[in-house]
Homo-oligomer: A and B are copies of this chain.
């Protein structure tokens, strides 16, 4: 529940009093033409109204009318390993955090580090993504936006997540396989090619490209700054 503390009420009271009493004094001076009366009314008013204002603020703290939160959303980055999902997701998360938005960052590697036994078969991947989607939707339902980056190669589980969330924005990072493999941020493509790891998306596992993504970003053709600008523009309607 949202509350305003006493310090806020006190500072607001002072801030208001400056402008309000100045106005009163000017008004009284205009109507009476007497400077002394204007000052006298001002002095008494300052004391009486500060008390009144503070009490008024404290009462309004209990009244819910017109208090609202921004519309939360789930911004879901999908794409091949090393396609640039995490970089863009991190940037978006930091942007929203700095603006004071309630936002949670969910990253494939981080979530898997909590649950190291999660496998990479089609079924395990789908179950994993569905669980993460369930989590994201609960956060969204409670006013927290989510910026997530998961390879999430299968349409089935992405659709499951889309249906769970109210405002699901899919960002397909469509950087071509050749470019992703050239980057090979974690050296995993090399291992996959050498047969050291199996079920590696793009090499030994399929990636089903989404057909309904709200934003499509090919990081081999667009600068990070331009991509980020498009993301910012898209989410601005929720802010």
A interface residues with partner B (beta carbon < 8 Å): 1-9, 11-12, 15-16, 19-20, 23-24, 27-28, 31-32, 37, 40-41, 44-45, 48-49, 52-53, 56, 60, 64-70, 99-102, 104, 111, 114-115, 117, 127, 130-131, 134-135, 138-139, 141-144, 239
Contact = CB atoms under 8 A, between A and B. Distances in A.
A141 B104 contact: yes
A127 B239 CA distance: 36
Given A114-B134, A127-B117, A66 B9 contact: yes
A217 to B, nearest CB: 26
Instruction: Among A27, A44, A53, A111, find the residue whose CB has the most chain B CB atoms closer than 10 A.
Output: A27
B45 A3 contact: no
B139 A115 contact: no
Q: Is the interface of A mostly helix, strand, loop or mixed?
A: helix
A116 B25 CA distance: 72
A50 to B, nearest CB: 11
A37 B127 CA distance: 76
B1 A100 contact: yes
7 contacts: A4-B67, A11-B65, A20-B53, A23-B49, A104-B142, A115-B134, A131-B131
**7 closest A-B pairs by CB:** A8-B66, A142-B144, A5-B66, A1-B101, A7-B66, A1-B70, A135-B135
Contacts of A37: 31-32
Given A1-B100, A4-B66, A114-B130, 11 more contacts: A3-B68, A7-B66, A11-B65, A11-B66, A15-B60, A16-B53, A23-B45, A31-B41, A104-B138, A114-B134, A115-B134
